[in-house]
Amino acid sequence: MNREKIIVIDFGGQYNQLVARRVRECSVYCEIYSYKTDISAIRAMNPKGIILTGGPNSCYEDGAPTCSRELFEMGIPVLGLCYGAQLMMHVLGGHVCKAPVREYGKIEVTVDRTSKLFSDVSEKTICWMSHNDYIEKTAPGFRTVAWTDNCPAAAMECAEKQLYAIQFHPEVLHTVEGTKMLSNFVYNVCGCSGDWKMDAFVEQSIRAIREKVGDGRVLCALSGGVDSSVAAVLLSKAVGKQLTCVFVDHGLLRKNEGDEVEAVFGPTGDYDLNFIRVNAQERYYKKLAGAEEPEKKRKIIGEEFIRVFEEEAKKIGRVDFLVQGTIYPDVVESGLGGESAVIKSHHNVGGLPEHVDFKEIIEPLRDLFKDEVRKVGLELGIPEYLVFRQPFPGPGLGVRIIGEVTAEKVRIVQDADAIFREEIATAGYDRKINQYFAALTNMRSVGVMGDERTYDYAVALRAVSTVDFMTAEAVEIPWEVLQKVMSRVINEVKGVNRVVYDLTSKPPGTIEME
C-alpha cells in the first residue's frame, strides 16, 4: 500500500495524539514515533512531512530530548510545534531561553499571511499558548511570520528549505484556525493529495485481510463494543463464514444488551459469519461471589473470559487467526508508538488465551483513532446505535456495582440504568452527554414507602461531558429530568429507596473508559 504519510515525532507533549488526529482529519495519514527513532528509519518511511511535537523540557538544558541537524537537511518539510519549534531554532543556531513573560491560554496572534502556513488564516487569530521558554533569536535564514505582545517569534519559516516553526499549539481546538494551519502545512508545503479516506480504508483492508487469511479460519471475541463490532464486520465482509465470533454474555451487560448483540450478529442478523453466544451468567456470578475489591473483580472477570473463550475455541477446532480490536491509542499508550509514559497497559496485552493455538493475530483497526473506527463502522453499514455506543468498561456492570456482585444487584443496576438512559434520551440529552449511567452503591439506608419501613440500596447517577476522556465535568441535567428519573427508579426498581446524583469532576474523580 503506497499511502502518503506524515510523521509526528513525539517529544513527550500531552497533545501528541491530537496532532496526529488533526492531520488525519485533513485526510492525510499520520503516525507517531518517539524522538529516539533513528533518522535512517524515518528516512526509510519516506514521509511527505515531519511534525515535531511539544514537550515538557527546555531544549537548552542538558539531557533534554533532541534531534539531529540532519533531520532538517533531508529535503523533507518539517513543522515544529512549541518545544519542537524551540528545538528547531536551537539546533539550527537560534537562541532559546526562559521567557521574561510566560504565556498560557488563548492569546491573540498576528500572522503574516504571505506565509504558506497562514494562507486563508485571519490576520489576527486566537491561538493556544503554553510555554515558559521563548525563541529570543530565530535561526539564520528564518523569517518571523507571527508574533504576539509577549512573544516576538510566534512562528517562523525558512521557505526554501521547507522548515516551519510555530510556538503555539495549532492541534488544540482553542486555536481557532489551527486545523487550517495544519492543513496548509500538509497540502501547501508537503504537497499531500489527501488519500486517507475511510471508504478507501475499508476496501484496502478487506483486500489485505483476504490475502492474509486465504482459506484459514478466524476467531473473534465479540463484546458488542464499537471496536470489536467494527473489527468483526470488516472480517465478515472479507472472509464470510471462515469467521466465527464468540460472544460471551457474562451477565454484566446493560439491560437487553446481549439480545441486541445477538440480533445484529446472530443468524437472523445482517452479517455473513458464524455466531456463538455463550450464556455464562451463572458461572460468572458464582466466581464473583464474595469478591468486593474492584481490582479483584476485574481480575476474576478477565480470567473467566479467557477460560470461556478457550473452551469455545476448542469446540470449533482449528483456528488460524485471532482477531483483536486494538486501536491506535492502545498502540501509542502501550509505549510502542510515541514518547508518552505508559499510561495504561493495553487491555488486550496479557489477556490472550494461552490454550488456543493460532498462527497469527489480526488487528484490522490498529492504525485507527476512535473517531475513525466509528467512521469505518458507518461505512460498513453497522447500525448507528452500535457505532455511537457510549464507552462501556470491559468488566461491565461488575465495576458499576460497588462491593460484591450478585444477580439481584445486577438486576437493580440494569433496571435503574435503563430508566436513566430512557429519560435522558426523551429529554434530548443523549448526544450532548458523553457518558451517563447508573451505578449501585453498596449503601443501604432506612426509608419509608407505602407506610412501610424499607431498608434498601441507593442508586447513584453519573453523567459527564468530556472532550478527550482525560478530564471531565459532571453535566448540569435539568432538575425535572433528574426528578423524573428518581421517581421512576424508586417506583419501578424493587430494592432501591434512594437516588443520588454524582457531582464529582475528573480529576479528582475518574471516569470509565472502554
Residues marked as catalytic: 82, 169, 171
Using CB under 6 A, pick the residue from 47, 54, 178, 258 that binds ligand GLN: 54
- Residues 135, 168 contacting (CB under 8 angstroms): no
Answer yes or no whether residue 396 interacts with ligand GLN by CB under 6 A.
no
- d(CA 408, CA 457) in angstroms, rounded, equals 11
Q: What does the DSSP assignment read for 247-276?
A: EEE-S-SPTTHHHHHHHHHSTTSS--SEEE
Q: What is the largest CA-CA distance in the chain?
A: 85
Size of the site for ligand GLN (CB under 6 A): 12
- Residues 134, 97 contacting (CB under 8 angstroms): yes
Answer yes or no whether residue 104 interacts with ligand GLN by CB under 6 A.
no
In the complex with ligand GLN, which residue's Cβ is closer, 82 or 231? 82
Using CB under 6 A, pick the residue from 51, 76, 82, 440 that binds ligand GLN: 82
In the complex with ligand GLN, which residue's Cβ is closer, 71 or 493? 71
Using CB under 6 A, pick the residue from 27, 34, 37, 58 that binds ligand GLN: 58
Q: Which residue is nearest to ligand GLN (CB)?
A: 54
Answer yes or no whether residue 178 interacts with ligand GLN by CB under 6 A.
no
Question: What stretch of H or E contains 189?
Answer: none
Q: What does the DSSP assignment read for 126-153?
A: EEEEEEEEEEEEPPTT-EEEEE-SS-S-
Answer yes or no whether residue 10 interacts with ligand GLN by CB under 6 A.
no
Answer yes or no whether residue 56 interacts with ligand GLN by CB under 6 A.
yes
Residue with grid cell 543556531, as numbered in its chain:
93
Q: How far is CA 393 from CA 116, 173, 254, 342, 345, in A?
A: 45, 28, 11, 19, 15
Answer yes or no whether residue 83 interacts with ligand GLN by CB under 6 A.
yes
Among candidates 471, 414, 465, which has minimal Cα distance to 440?
414
Q: How far is the CB of 153 from ligand GLN (least distance, A)?
A: 12
Answer yes or no whether residue 57 interacts with ligand GLN by CB under 6 A.
yes
Judged by CB under 6 A, the stretch of 130-138, 147-155, 217-225, 260-268 that binds ligand GLN is 130-138
Distance, CA of 187 to chain centre: 26
Q: How far is the CB of 131 from ligand GLN (least distance, A)?
A: 3
Instruction: Strands of 334-392 (E only): list them.
Output: 360-362
Using CB under 6 A, pick the residue from 4, 6, 9, 13 that binds ligand GLN: 13
Using CB under 6 A, pick the residue from 130, 223, 340, 434 that binds ligand GLN: 130
Amino acid occupying residue 154: A
In the complex with ligand GLN, which residue's Cβ is closer, 98 or 197? 98
Q: How far is the CB of 134 from ligand GLN (least distance, A)?
A: 7
Answer yes or no whether residue 340 interacts with ligand GLN by CB under 6 A.
no
Residue with grid cell 513543522, as numbered in its chain:
79
Give 249's contacts (C-beta < 8 A, 6+ positions apart).
258, 277, 278, 279, 280, 281
Instruction: Give the residues lining the site for ligand GLN (CB under 6 A).
Output: 13, 54-58, 82-83, 130-133
